[in-house]
Amino acid sequence: METRVIAKKKFGQNFLKDSTVLSKIIQSMPNNNNHIVEIGPGLGDLTEKLVKYKDTTAYEVDTDLIGVLKSKFAIEIENKRFELIHTDVLKAWDEKGSLHEESYDLIANLPYYIATNIILRAFEDSNCENIIVMIQREVAQKFTAQVNDKEYSSLSIITQIVSKEARILIDVPPESFDPPPKVTSSVLFISKKDNVTLDKDFLKFLKVSFSQPRKKLFKNLTAIYKKEFLSNIYSELNIEETLRPHEVDVSLYSQLYTKVKNGKQ
C-alpha cells in the first residue's frame, strides 16, 4: 500500500485500487441530480472521483482514516462539495432514519461483513433511489437471482419487490484490491421503485419459507402454521405441496402470505 494506513480486517477494509473498475462505477452512475452518499470512503480513491461529479456525503467509522480524508478533501469540505461524517453508518440510520434529507444514490465499495444489512437498510430508506455497490459476488447473485435459480432466496424476492431493475454490472477479482479479499466481488446495481414499503411480517414469512432451502416449502411453513390449515390454502391456490422454496415466484409468495395472514388456524 502506498500509504502508511494499515488495513483493518474488523472494518472490512479492502481498498479498491483498480482504476478501470473505479471508472466503470463512475460511468454507471445514473444521470440525475441526486446527491451521492458513500459508505466507507476508506482512503478516498472512489470518493475522489465521486466529488468531481456530484455533492457527496460519506460515512466512515474508522477514526484513523478520518484525518487522512480530512486533509485529502480539505478544499471540497471547505466549499461544501463534500461532507464527512465520522460514525457507524448503521447507527446513523437508527438515529436519523435516512442518510440524507433529500433524494440520493448510494455508491460504495461496502464493508462485506455488513453489506447485506446495509442494502436492506437502503431498501427501507425512502430517500435512497439507486444503489451501486461492490459486494461479495455470491451475495450479489442472491440479490439478482430469479425463481428456479439456485441462488434464489428471500433477498431475491425482497429485491424484486422494491426494485425496477437489479443486475450485476461487473465481476471484480481479488487482485483489484489492497489487501486482496478471499472472494470474487461484483458491482451490484439496483434502481428502486418509488414509495415501496416492506411489510416486516412478510419478511418474517419469507425467512421461515427459506429456513431450510432444500426442504419443501410446506415443511418449512409447518414451523409456524398447522398442517391442515396450510393444506387448505395450498388447495385453494391449486399448488403442489412438493414445491421447494426456490420454485415459488414473488407473486405466489404474496398470495400465500395474504392467505395465511387472513386465515384462521
Decide: helix, strand or coil at residue 101.
coil
Q: Is 42 annotated as a binding residue?
A: no
When binding is defined by CB under 6 A, the residue of 25, 29, 50, 61 that contacts ligand SAM is: 61
Does 15 help bind ligand SAM (rule: CB under 6 A)?
yes
Nearest-angstrom CA–CA distance, 72 and 242: 59
Torsion of CA 226, 231, 236, 240, to 10 degrees: 130
Q: Which is nearer to ligand SAM, 88 or 199 (CB)?
A: 88
At 203, list the grid cell: 419478511
Does 24 help bind ligand SAM (rule: CB under 6 A)?
no
User: Under a CB-based contact definition with an 8 Å cutoff, are residues 137 and 38 in contact?
Assistant: no
Decide: helix, strand or coil at residue 247.
helix
What is the β-pairing status of strands 163-172 and 104-109? unpaired
When binding is defined by CB under 6 A, the residue of 25, 29, 37, 46 that contacts ligand SAM is: 46
DSSP category for residue 245: G
Nearest-angstrom CA–CA distance, 93 and 102: 14
Give the length of the chain.
Answer: 265
Does 59 help bind ligand SAM (rule: CB under 6 A)?
yes
When binding is defined by CB under 6 A, the residue of 29, 37, 41, 160 that contacts ligand SAM is: 41
When binding is defined by CB under 6 A, the residue of 29, 35, 36, 40 that contacts ligand SAM is: 40
Q: Is 109 annotated as a binding residue?
A: yes
Q: How far is CA 44 from the centre of its chain?
A: 21
DSSP category for residue 193: P
When binding is defined by CB under 6 A, the residue of 16, 25, 84, 128 that contacts ligand SAM is: 16
Tell me the window of 39-47, 93-101, 200-208, 227-235 that interacts with ligand SAM (CB under 6 A). Answer: 39-47
Does 109 help bind ligand SAM (rule: CB under 6 A)?
yes
Which parts are annotated binding residues? 14, 16, 40, 60, 88, 109
Which parts are annotated binding residues for S-adenosyl-L-methionine? 14, 16, 40, 60, 88, 109
Binding site for ligand SAM (CB under 6 A): 11-16, 39-43, 45-46, 59-62, 65, 88-90, 109, 111, 114
